[in-house]
Structure formats: structure tokens, C-alpha cells
Amino acid sequence: MSAPSRRATPGVRAEDTPPRPHEQVQAFLDSSGPSPDPWAADIAAVRADARAKVLAVTGEPAPLASVESVDADGVPARLYRPKGGEQEVLVWAHGGGWIHGDLDTAEGVARALANRAGCGVLSIDYRLAPEHPFPAGFDDTWTAVTWARRNFGGVAVGGDSSGGNLAAAAALKARDEGVRLAAQLLVYPALDSVENTDYKVAFRRRYETFAGRSGFGSNTYRRLQYIWTTYVPDPARRKASYVSPLHAESVRGVAPATIITAEHDFLRREAEDYARRLEAADVPVELTEYAGQIHGFFEMFAVMTDAHHAVDKAGDAVRRAFRSTHTIEP
């Protein structure tokens, strides 16, 4: 793995320079209202606010050959198929901190990935915390993967944010169970539940001026505290491999990985650390950082040019993976 490739302004590092958001990011931040504090608000209000904000920036859905609702062994899902994309499938887990997000908020990304990758995308409506804490969401993701293996000739797994966590955990589970996956696609994944590491403290302090804005500052830190506490109430379980993949005893033998990060994202460093662990374990990995970008940009087709670039890059990686791995072992 070489140093992460970047879409903008080479050399800008979140650790040692003043925050310099992409101009489209700044415009988005200037127009965005505050989000409810999850520690104080009703979960229904948190979900409604997040849903409205995502749907406002995803843009018009891309046309596809077919979209159908499916039951993946009890997990509600939508199957998106482009023309000719009948043989392979990417199981996709949406983001939302394990507490919000649904099939509608994932629609734009699922359609775009299906078209670019030339394969089916199985977008899953996994159970959410606090009603359903770990391992419910992880179990649903793995159930969908096993369903996909029975119904398609090739399977990859992917997700963004908390969905990236579920995808990475599913890739570890596949390795543990002897199940071959073509690839794992991790978009600004949450991989480390440990609070107050040196870099997290430094990052939080550096972005204090952006507190309360999407993707920046103490608001993000408070949200991370909340979602980890809500998803895994028992602190003793938070370093388990399927909770915090960065802390897995070994990552050797997992599926090849494509990892996409945003420069101004609290989760960037743990994704970089995970990429280094994969490389050290001889797992093929491609890491791309989008300079000036924030957490969540991947789905913001209506306001972020980089969203289109990133989805194209992700879809191309999945397409290549299926070209090199055409069958799944029984």
C-alpha cells in the first residue's frame, strides 16, 4: 500500500495545518442547521432529522434495470440491478451510527454503485440501536451475506461509516468461517471504539471552532460517544473483533479492501491504521483520502462533486474484484 491517493490539495494534513474544508464543504456547512444532541433528544427526533438531511443532498436517483424488495432470510432489503448485473452482488450496509438510516437514505449510493460496478447491490435494512444493540446489526449483515452467497455467483461486502464497520466485521467473520468474499468496500468506516487516544484528543481540540457543524468538532465527538454507548452498552465488549475490527487479533486472510476516507473526519486515522494492518498482513488494500472533505460526503451527490468521484472509484474497485474472482467456494 502506497501513501493514500488524494482528490485535492496534496500535502494538506488535518494534524498540522489549520482546517481548510473544500469550498463545497464550506458552502454545505454554512447552509446546514444544527442536529439534535442525541444525549438529550428523543431517538425519533434524531432519526427524523438525520433522514431529512440525507435525503436533501442525495440528488435524483440514477435509473436502473430493476429494483425489488427482497427478504434476505428475515433481513429486509432492496436489490438493485443494472442491465447485465445478475451474477454478482455487493451487500451494502448504510451508515447512521447504528442508530439511524434506512433503505431510502441508502438509495442514492446503492443505485450509483450498482451502475458503476455493473453488479447487483443488496442494500440491507439492519436492526438499529438502541432498540437492537450489538450484535443485532452485525448478525443481520452476516445473515444477508450468507443469503447472497446462496443466490449469486460472487459476493462482496461494503458500507459507509457504521455500515463500513459492519462490512469490515462481516469480512472478518467470512475469514473465520472459511467463506470467500471478492472484496470489502469500506467508506470512512468506524473501526475503533476506544476513546481518548492521543490523536482523537488532538483532533477534537483542533476542530473546536467547528463545534456543532456536520463532520467537525465536539459535536462529532459527543455523537461518537453516544453511538458507541448505544450500539455496545457493555464497555467490556467494545474491543471485540466484530465490534472494533481495528482490534482484531489478526486480519490475515480477509477479503481485499478498498478504503475511502475524508480528510476532516474524526474516523480517518483509524481507517488509515486499519489499512496499515491489512497491508502488513499481506491483504491487498487501496486507500484513498479525499482532501478537504468531511464525514458523509460519499452520499452527497447534489452538493459534492467528490461524491461522484468517490462512488466511481468504489464501483470500479468492486467491478475489478469480481473480474478477478468469479466464483464463491461452496
Is 308 labeled as catalytic in the residue annotation? no
Q: Which residues contact 280 (CB under 8 A, 6 or more apart)?
A: none
Distances (CA, A) of 306 to 92, 140, 298, 313: 20, 30, 7, 10
Amino acid at 80: Y
Q: Are strands 66-72 and 75-81 parallel, antiparallel or unpaired?
A: antiparallel
Among 262, 257, 260, 246, residue whose Cα is nearest residue 279: 257
Is 16 labeled as catalytic in the residue annotation? no
Q: Which residues contact 136 (CB under 8 A, 6 or more apart)?
A: 126, 127, 129
User: Which of these is catalytic: 22, 94, 100, 295?
Assistant: 295
Q: Which residues contact 131 (CB under 8 A, 6 or more apart)?
A: none
Amino acid at 81: R
User: Which of these is catalytic: 161, 162, 214, 244?
Assistant: 161
Is 100 labeled as catalytic in the residue annotation? no
Give the length of the chain.
330
- Residue owning grid cell 476506544: 194
Residues annotated as catalytic are 161, 265, 295
